[in-house]
């Protein structure tokens, strides 16, 4: 999503900001619009599942899509900008809660039926103290995230490996889909106790190596495919991401296990109230 928005946001100014309704996950501040309008975007970043829009006012717009949020981008004239193609044609404006018109010519609509998404303005200097970001673990695609780090983070964890990977303090930015997919690729059971993937004293080993590799690989593949779209998740051009075609286990209950040589069948279980999909035969 960050990659989709960057060409139309970076260096652009908020020409018009409309908040159709401010009761998202948290209420928008009442001066939300004036604090954004006229501001220029000096950079667009991301931390875990949060988009970070750097403003020339010294504030950062922190945005989260929640479960059902998406950004749709349409260009006032033409459909291409900086080599990126945008042709949002979606007509379902019913849940467009916030709309940005940028000086780049882009209209960006934040659409979120369930309103679990959020927007918040934080002074740049306070970002490292921001409660939403403070406790987040390492970025899974960063160099700091490796087998040693994962082994350490899972060391002594009494919960399931699935729950541990979903915990944003262990590693930041993995959701239900990508945890299931990474565990499948690493041939590790979601039911395994998290502390058992490392050695006794929290040292890395073949398993933690496999799992870090699997996490990085699944995220890279998903980003390249344009993300995972279920129902209302969209790319910025309004199209659906292609990654679901590459799901090996998620939402594939009853399907044959895709692992080469495995004769197992994908099973669905519930852990901590969330669906887990995995192959009990090859994921140990």
Instruction: Give me the residues that bind DNA (CB under 7 A), please.
Output: 25, 48-50, 64, 66-68, 94-95, 113-116, 131-132, 157-160, 163, 166-168, 175-177, 194, 228-233, 272-275
Q: What are the φ/ψ torsions at residue 134 (nearest 5 degrees)?
A: -50, -50
- State which residue, 82 or 94, has the beta carbon closest to DNA: 94
Give me the least distance between CB of 63 and DNA, in Å please: 11
- State which residue, 40 or 168, has the beta carbon closest to DNA: 168
Locate tokens 């979601």: which residue? Answer: 190
Give me the least distance between CB of 212 and DNA, in Å please: 19
Burial profile 69-82: b = 16 or more Cβ within 10 angstroms, e = fewer: bbbbbbbeeeeebe
| Rounded CA separation 149/168 (Å) | 14
C-beta neighbour count of 211 within 10 angstroms: 26
Residue 267 host element (H or E):
strand 267-271
- State which residue, 64 or 207, has the beta carbon closest to DNA: 64
| Rounded CA separation 196/157 (Å) | 9
* Residues in Cβ contact with 89 at an 8 Å cutoff, skipping those fewer than 6 apart: 238
Q: What are the φ/ψ torsions at residue 46 (nearest 5 degrees)?
A: -150, 145
Q: Which of 278, 150, 163 has its CA nearest to residue 212?
A: 150
Give me the least distance between CB of 15 and DNA, in Å please: 29
| Rounded CA separation 41/61 (Å) | 10
| Rounded CA separation 8/248 (Å) | 33
Give me the least distance between CB of 172 and DNA, in Å please: 9
- State which residue, 8 or 194, has the beta carbon closest to DNA: 194
8 Å CB contact between 118 and 38: no
Give me the least distance between CB of 16 and DNA, in Å please: 25
- State which residue, 97 or 185, has the beta carbon closest to DNA: 97
- State which residue, 6 or 132, has the beta carbon closest to DNA: 132
Give me the least distance between CB of 102 and DNA, in Å please: 24
- State which residue, 3 or 49, has the beta carbon closest to DNA: 49
CA 170 from chain center: how many Å?
A: 15
Locate tokens 């080993």: which residue? Answer: 205
Give me the least distance between CB of 179 and DNA, in Å please: 8
Give me the least distance between CB of 135 and DNA, in Å please: 8
- State which residue, 116 or 264, has the beta carbon closest to DNA: 116
């Amino acid at each position: 999503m960050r990659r989709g928005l960057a060409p139309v946001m970076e260096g652009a100014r908020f020409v018009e900001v409309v908040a159709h309704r401010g009761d998202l996950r948290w209420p928008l501040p009442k001066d939300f619009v004036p604090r954004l309008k006229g501001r220029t975007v000096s950079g667009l970043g991301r931390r875990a599942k949060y988009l970070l829009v750097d403003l020339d006012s010294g504030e950062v717009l922190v945005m989260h899509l929640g479960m059902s949020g998406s950004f749709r981008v349409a260009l006032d004239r033409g459909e291409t900008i900086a080599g990126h193609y945008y042709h949002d044609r979606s007509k379902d404006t019913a849940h467009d809660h916030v709309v940005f018109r940028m000086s780049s010519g882009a209209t960006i609509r934040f659409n979120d039926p369930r309103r679990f998404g959020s927007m918040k303005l934080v002074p740049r200097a306070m970002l490292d103290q921001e409660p939403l970001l403070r406790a987040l673990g390492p970025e899974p695609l960063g160099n700091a995230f490796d087998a040693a780090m994962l082994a350490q983070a899972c060391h002594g964890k009494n919960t399931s490996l699935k729950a541990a990977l979903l915990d944003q303090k262990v590693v930041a930015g993995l959701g239900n889909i990508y945890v299931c997919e990474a565990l499948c690729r690493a041939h590790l059971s979601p039911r395994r106790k998290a502390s058992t993937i490392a050695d006794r004293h929290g040292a890395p080993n073949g398993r933690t190596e496999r799992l870090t590799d699997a996490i990085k690989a699944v995220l890279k593949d998903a980003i390249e495919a344009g993300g995972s779209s279920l129902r209302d998740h969209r790319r910025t051009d309004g199209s659906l991401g292609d990654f679901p075609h590459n799901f090996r286990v998620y939402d594939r209950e009853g399907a044959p296990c895709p692992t080469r040589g495995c004769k197992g069948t994908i099973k669905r279980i519930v852990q901590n109230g969330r669906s887990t999909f995995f192959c009990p035969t090859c994921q140990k």
